[in-house]
Amino acid sequence: MPPLARWLARRLALTLFVLWGTATLAFAGMRLVPGDPAHVIAGGVQANATPEVLETIRAQYGLHDPLPVQYAIFIGRLVRADLGESYQLNQPVSTVVLEQLGATVSLAAGAAVLGFTLALVLALLTAGRPRAGALTRALEFCAISTPNFWIGILLLGAFSFSLNWFPVLGEDGPRALVLPWITLALPIAGVLAQITREGLERALGQPFTLTARSRGATENRIRLRHALRHAALPVLTLSGWALGELLAGVVVVETVFARQGLGQVVVSAVNGRDFPVVTGVVVLAALTFSVINTGLDLLYRVVDPRVRQAAL
Amino acid sequence: MTAPALARPYRKVRPGLWAAWAFLALVCCAALFPALFAGAPDQVDATAVLRGPGAGHPFGTDQLGRDILARVVYGARASLFVGLGSTLLAGAVGSAWGLLAALGGRAVGEAAMRLADILLAFPGILTALLVVAVLGPGTRNATLAITIALAPGFARIVRVQALVVRDSAYVRAAINLGLRPWRILRRHIVPNVLAPLLILATLNVGTAIIAGASLSFLGLGPRPPAPEWGSMLAQARNYLDVSWTLALFPGAAITLTVMSATAAGRALQARYERREP
Amino acid sequence: MTEPLVVVDGLSVDFTTRHGPVRAVRDVSLTLRAGECLAVVGESGSGKSVTARTLLGLAGQGADVRARTLSFAGHDLRRLGARQWRRLRGRQVGYVLQDALTSLDPLRRIGYEVAEPLEVHGLATRDDLDDQVVGLLAEVGIPDPEVRLLQYPHELSGGLRQRALIASAIAARPRLLIADEPTTALDVTVQAQVLDVLAARRDAGTALLLISHDLAVVARLADHVAILYAGTVVEQGPAAELLAAPAHPYTADLLAAVPSVEGPVPDLSGLRSAPAAQEGCPYAPRCPLADDRCRERLPEALPYDTGRLVRCWYPGGAPASVPGERSAVPVVPARAEPVLTVRGLTKRFRSPDGSHRTAVDDVSFDLAAGEALGIVGESGSGKSTTARIVLAEFEPDAGSVLLHGEPWSGLRERDRRARRSRIQLVDQDPLSSFDPRYTVEEVVAEALPRTRDRGERVAELLGQVGLDPAILRRRPGQLSGGQRQRVAIARALAPGPDVLVCDEPVSALDVTVQAQILTLLTRLRRDAGVSLLFISHDLGVIRQVCDRVAVMKDGKVVETGQVETVFRAPQATYTRALLAAVPRIGPGPRVPARPRVPEPVPVTDLKGPT
Ligand SMILES: Nc1ncnc2c1ncn2[C@@H]1O[C@H](COP(=O)(O)OP(=O)(O)OP(=O)(O)O)[C@@H](O)[C@H]1O
Ligand code: SF4
Ligand SMILES: [Mg+2]
């Protein structure tokens, strides 16, 4: 199918461009830091490193080279998937990232499944039913307006410290994942439920719904076979954003529940200005999101035949 | 059905909305004149550490014996500063960016939109973290970080809206009347692009407040002794085993503020959409 | 005589809305027998759709339905529960909604939609489902049904979509078929084909309830006609008699307002427009015969003539509309200087699949001062593209446009801007051409130079187009369709143009409103001496307004000439086909179903700009 191939090729090019842009922005950020990077590497501006130590560091990290050369080396490494070495941990960035990836993925994936399921069920049950809708609408509004670290702290306080239902700290086993999952899922479920319900209600108000009714179709059939597909379109559009929110949530929730993971890594890297790690995580995130968004757009084309011809 | 909408616009008294506006007013007052509501936020009462709510300290005290009410009241300023400041800045930058992308010719438009693509390719929080990593923590830097995270989103929306307006029948009609491009831009395009943006920005204040609180929760906002809701929660997190009321009030302050701002924004939006034919 | 299939007596439907109660249908009584066609005709908002949907139990949320009798095949519909209604829908009563594009689920294949009633009512097994669907598609005249069944609604042309919708409505062989505006927005030739499909169902013994705002459309099919005004049936009876001699003043006005392609052009300047009265006779505000009794008491539906019912205190008293003379249209001196000279215009567009399509192909014409030139053609024939090139919205790929003998196309925008006010546009959808933030006053004022007497000029212009200055501060969204079009005309006249380009200016309006706008345009042409380039798909409308006509097909002009000549003795085959397909209200027996001619349709529906 040539249009699809053309579209995919274009997406791939865009992804590469975005990766390059992200890396370049990160590199520029690194060089924009007020002060001498060598100081940072030596353990912060406060640490009194001797000039000799600083000199060694400069030589080791190639800080003497002119900027374009440094940039070229940086990009060259990146192409070979070499993200450099952490300033703070003295380990390759890829090792650091890979070690922590699993914990973060299981946290995010579980929360995503929970959030999407919750949203779908709520929306299907309440769309077009003003009374039930009003109650869930209020709940969703609360969920959307509450920062998830507060939700996490409240859940932790109530269920771990007071009721002792869940472990307080540490990440052993799935039991420790329950509260973080809920914490992460609630806000995105709130948004997605609203979008889904809106989509369902819009579809239920369309003439084709009336047509389906006039054929004798049952309410369930109309909702599941007709309206749901239409509601899926705005949800797909928003899913990329929701997954981004989820990742932002991961950073915070790992802190709340004192879990290990990429969020922790990136926060301590930002605090310690460990640029290779920050760059590595940001580039990885950009790659992940490009892939996810391409997948979502592909799915959109599957659901909506109208956009298939448009070579976007 | 083309029944002309001659009937009066529909109005209903909504107590929730009034409460939202009232609470927003209260938060604004607290941010501007905190001394009216509470004592000093840094005063340490060594005899009363980690107290629950009670006489003398209606919201209780923290681990150093500071009055939580005072700290919540004084914390309003930082939150509003970050929330409103970054939204305003992002709105301004995003509008200029989006208008340029839509109307500034092919090359400029492409460049502007590709930059937005890059920034939008990963979650806003990472952009913000990257910016904080470069600039260092602090209220002002957190505001800038959130601005940079929000602006490309605004730019994209403004661009789409500007293209819609540019190709609209009423702009065509104006061109047909022989009006000068500058006048069309000023009288038709800019107002019709920015009116919906204003509402979008209002709706965004809540998001920005949460983002700001998240940064300071992670220790990347204002430096510790300064009162701020997010960093108060970060401290409360460490004393959960002793006192869980510590986390109650700052969190409630964030949530209520965000709810009120969002409710107000939605009300404005509903009103605007009803005005539209 | 057979038992009636549908009996409706004293039906009223009210809606509770947030603006207060709406009385959508008031005291409507109808009967319909198997094998017959009852047409319900009325303008927008008159309650046609609500009446029809009540028969399906789908009047809508918050509908309060009351009736003395509401029965289908002897069953009392007022007593049906949800499950019984579902068994009736689709199986006993089929429903074809107005706009097939939105009435078919855009995300589902055609085959799925047609099969749905069969599935729902358990009328097909897995194995014969596809065969049945193919059979149904073939039955409504869709070519290549095996291919079409796998396509999506947006991949079909309007006519095919409408047929697919009909196929799904008749899939379960219902005894009653309700068609709600089945041909609106279709080209005349396609319209005729769709009506033939419906006629075939009627002849096969299905009762047909045909809803339309267009008397001419129903005249071909209907055995009985009911005229609806403001929720009440003002007149009903056998189609032939009712159309030949309307008894209610509204029916008479409606008939007179239908633009026809033959006979004298009537003078319609007497038509009034006003909202329906809530008390007394609803038509009183517009009726030339109205007196105090009319304004106070709603007349009963009383027998009139043979088998007719009329709700009027003075049935048959309406003056027959005055047949005006063709000379109402000023005849332009033959040697008048052309205002607009169009030579060899050609424009190609890229379709989504990358191929090129010639939207306008070597089009030439002149427009003399004060003349009205009509451009007629079906959808996609290049009418609007021609108009937009004349308006210099874009440049032609070849050919030129001269304004007063000077170059108009091919200029830099800066050099054209000062003369832009010479050519103005009146569009099909006036609302979108007004800045949503503007009031009527601001809309019109923008078109005037900034002088001190601008306010007076605005009022004067509004007066000229027959608008009350009270609407100055309203927003166009709050106006009715006819009022909006008048505002658009006022704005177009404001800079004192030489040419008014009217692109389908009346095709979204009810016939009586349409007649008023056409009368207005004709008058303005006489008074202001402006030339009209008048684009329409409706031959009757063209005939009412224009001196000359150019017939377009596939981007080419196939015939030009004086309107009377072309309409009386068309030369091109295409013009002849077009004229033959125009629905007519004429005496004579109802037309039997014609043998079907499959419509030639491209594989995908390529739409040019409209
Ligand atoms: N669900 C509803 N709620 C409130 N009012 C309604 C509803 N449905 C229809 N109406 C009102 O009932 C009246 C009749 O509407 P209806 O749709 O039957 O008109 P129509 O004759 O079919 O018009 P059109 O030619 O525009 O389709 C209108 O005033 C309309 O606004
Ligand atoms: S009742 Fe009176 S107002 Fe109504 S249509 Fe008849 S004559 Fe006109
Ligand atoms: Mg209708």
Count H helices and E strands in chain C, helices first: 21, 23
Q: Which of C91, C94, C102 lies closest to A208 in CB terms?
A: C102
Cβ–Cβ gap C116/A217 under 8 Å: yes
Work out the number of other CB atoms within 10 angstroms of the CB of residue B44: 14
* Spatial separation of the C-alpha atoms in residues C587 and C318, rounded to whole Å: 20
pLDDT class for A78, splitting at 50, 70, 90? confident
Chain A residues in contact with C121 (beta carbon < 8 A): 216
* In a domain? residue C378: yes
Contact C36, C221 (CB under 8 A): no
Chain C residues in contact with B7 (beta carbon < 8 A): 19-20
Number of domains in chain C: 1
pLDDT of residue A312: 41
Cβ–Cβ gap A214/C86 under 8 Å: no
* In a domain? residue B226: yes
pLDDT of residue B1: 31
pLDDT class for C320, splitting at 50, 70, 90? low
Mean pLDDT, rounded, of chain C = 86
Q: Confirm or reject contact between C86 and chain A (CB < 8 A).
A: yes
Q: Is the pLDDT of residue B175 over 90?
A: yes
pLDDT of residue C192: 87
Q: Is the pLDDT of residue A118 over 90?
A: yes
* In a domain? residue C29: no
Q: Which residue of B has its CA nearest to C430?
A: B169
Residues 38-67 in A contacting B (C-alpha not used; CB under 8 Å): none
- Give the DSSP H or E segment for B28: helix B15-32
Q: Is A252 exposed, middle or buried (0-12, 13-18, 19+ CB in 10 A)?
A: buried
* Residue percentage of chain B with pLDDT more than 90: 23
pLDDT class for B78, splitting at 50, 70, 90? confident
What does the CA dihedral B55, B60, B63, B66 come to, rounded to 10 degrees?
-70
* In a domain? residue C442: yes
* In a domain? residue B5: no
pLDDT of residue B3: 32
Cβ-based neighbours of A224, under 8 Å, separated by 6 or more: A124
- The correct CATH number of A104-311 out of 1.10.1380.10, 3.90.1310.10, 1.10.3720.10, 1.10.357.10 is 1.10.3720.10
Cβ-based neighbours of C190, under 8 Å, separated by 6 or more: C157, C158, C159, C162, C183, C599
Which domain CATH number covers C560? 3.40.50.300
* In a domain? residue C121: no
* Residue percentage of chain C with pLDDT more than 70: 92
Q: A227-272 pLDDT, tens per residue?
A: 999 999 989 988 888 888 888 888 888 888 888 888 888 888 888 7
pLDDT class for C605, splitting at 50, 70, 90? very low
pTM, to two decimals:
0.83
Number of domains in chain B: 1
Q: Is the pLDDT of residue C602 over 50?
A: no
Q: Is the pLDDT of residue C328 over 70?
A: no
Greater confidence (B111 vs C332) lies with B111
pLDDT of residue A172: 64
Cβ–Cβ gap B176/C423 under 8 Å: yes
Query: Looking at the CA of C510, which ligand is closest?
Result: 1
Alpha helix (H) residue ranges in C149-187: 158-170
pLDDT of residue A200: 93
Cα C30 from chain centroid (whole Å): 25
Polymer length in residues for chain B: 277
Residues 91-130 in C contacting A (C-alpha not used; CB under 8 Å): 91, 93-95, 97-99, 102-108, 113, 116-117, 120-121
pLDDT of residue C596: 41
Contact A3, B96 (CB under 8 A): no
Domain boundaries, chain A: 104-311
Q: Is the pLDDT of residue C599 over 70?
A: no
> Which two tokens mark C489?
């005309």
Contact B191, B105 (CB under 8 A): no
Mean pLDDT, residues C447-451 taken together: 87
Q: A4-25 pLDDT, tens per residue?
A: 888 889 889 888 988 898 888 8
* In a domain? residue C556: yes
> Which two tokens mark C577?
């086909």
* In a domain? residue B23: no
Greater confidence (C553 vs C357) lies with C553
* In a domain? residue C325: no
Q: Which residue of C has its CA nearest to A221?
A: C120
Q: Is the pLDDT of residue C330 over 70?
A: no
Q: Is the pLDDT of residue B220 over 70?
A: yes
Q: Is the pLDDT of residue C62 over 70?
A: yes
Mean pLDDT, residues C367-394 taken together: 91
Q: Confirm or reject contact between B169 and chain C (CB < 8 A).
A: yes
* In a domain? residue C270: no
Q: A170-207 pLDDT, tens per residue?
A: 656 777 888 899 999 999 999 999 999 999 999 999 99
Mean pLDDT, residues C481-495 taken together: 92
* In a domain? residue B24: no
State how beta strands C63-66 and C6-17 pair.
antiparallel
* In a domain? residue B14: no
Query: Minimum mean pLDDT among C220-234, C295-309, C350-364, C501-515: which range?
Result: C350-364
Chain B residues in contact with C433 (beta carbon < 8 A): 169-170, 172-173
Q: How far is CA C505 from CA A77, B144, C368, C433, C501, in A?
A: 65, 52, 21, 12, 9
Q: Is the pLDDT of residue C168 over 90?
A: yes
Point out the ligand 2 atom lying closest to the alpha carbon of residue C248: 5
Residues 229-288 in A contacting B (C-alpha not used; CB under 8 Å): 244-245, 247-248, 251-252, 255-256, 266-267, 269-271, 273, 275, 278, 281-282, 285-286
Q: B107-141 pLDDT, tens per residue?
A: 898 888 888 888 887 788 888 888 888 888 888 88
Handedness of CA C149, C154, C156, C158 (dihedral sign): positive
> Which two tokens mark C223?
């055995």
Which domain CATH number covers B254? 1.10.3720.10
Polymer length in residues for chain C: 610
Which of C45, C50, C5, C60 minimizes the C-alpha distance to C28?
C50
pLDDT of residue A171: 55
C289 within ligand 2 shell (Cβ under 6 A):
yes
Cβ–Cβ gap C446/B179 under 8 Å: yes
pLDDT of residue C600: 42
pLDDT of residue C116: 95
Most confident of B190-204, C478-492, C581-595: C478-492
Give the N- to C-terminal CA distance of chain A in Å, as an integer. 14
Q: Is the pLDDT of residue B13 over 60?
A: no
Q: Which of A26, A244, A269 lies closest to B124 in CB terms?
A: A244
pLDDT class for C164, splitting at 50, 70, 90? very high
* Residue percentage of chain C with pLDDT more than 90: 49
Range of the domain at B231: 67-272
* Spatial separation of the C-alpha atoms in residues C576 and C59, rounded to whole Å: 43
Mean pLDDT, residues C162-181 taken together: 94
pLDDT class for A216, splitting at 50, 70, 90? very high
Compute the C-alpha angle B185/B187/B189, nearest 5°. 45
* Residue with token string 């981004």: A244
Instruction: Answer left, alpha or beta for residue B258, where phi above 0 means left and psi between -120 and 50 means alpha.
Output: alpha
Q: Is the pLDDT of residue B89 over 80?
A: yes
pLDDT class for C193, splitting at 50, 70, 90? confident
pLDDT class for A43, splitting at 50, 70, 90? low
Query: Minimum mean pLDDT among A75-79, A89-93, B37-41, C118-122: which range?
Result: B37-41
